[in-house]
Amino acid sequence: MASPLVSIIDDDAGMRTSLDGLIRSLGYRAVCFACAEDFLEADAIQESACIIADVQMREITGVELCWMVQERYRSQLGVPVILISAFCDERMQSSARAAGAVALLQKPFDGDELVGFIEAAICRSRSG
């Protein structure tokens, strides 16, 4: 059985590379996308156990993507989405919660905190 897949969506190449290395060091597979549109076109959602997405992206934001993911899997548990952003005010926290994100982490975030959310999200995916 293949290890769980974590989809990383961020328009910052350095952040994608960093997250890719972290995910692989945990023993999971990772796939990276520069924007939500590329992720949706690749249909990677079908195989993803967890999605990590930046909030601030050009066309479709991370919060909008989170809504799309939840809409697609409305009758199921869904694919857990962890949002990351350089700007995390109360309004954004509220938007992320409303969209169903399991977490909104402010960049730079604590790696151990992110790992905890990833592990919990993948456990949730496996039990769903």
Q: Which two tokens stand for residue 119?
A: 């592990």
The domain that holds 59 is classified in CATH as 3.40.50.2300
pTM: 0.93
Q: For 118-127, how does the pLDDT look when each residue is reduced to its tens digit (9 = 90+)?
A: 999 998 777 6
- Tell me the DSSP string of 76-105: S----EEEEES---HHHHHHHHHHT-SEEE
pLDDT at 74: 58
pLDDT at 70: 85
Q: Which two tokens stand for residue 50?
A: 């967890």
Domain count, the chain: 1
Q: For 24-82, how does the pLDDT look when each residue is reduced to its tens digit (9 = 90+)?
A: 999 999 999 999 999 999 988 889 999 999 999 989 999 999 999 988 765 455 789 99
Which of 13-17, 25-29, 88-92 bottoms out in mean pLDDT, i.e. has the lowest?
88-92
pLDDT at 75: 47
Contact 9, 19 (CB under 8 A): no
pLDDT at 88: 87
Segments forming the whole domain that contains residue 53 = 5-127
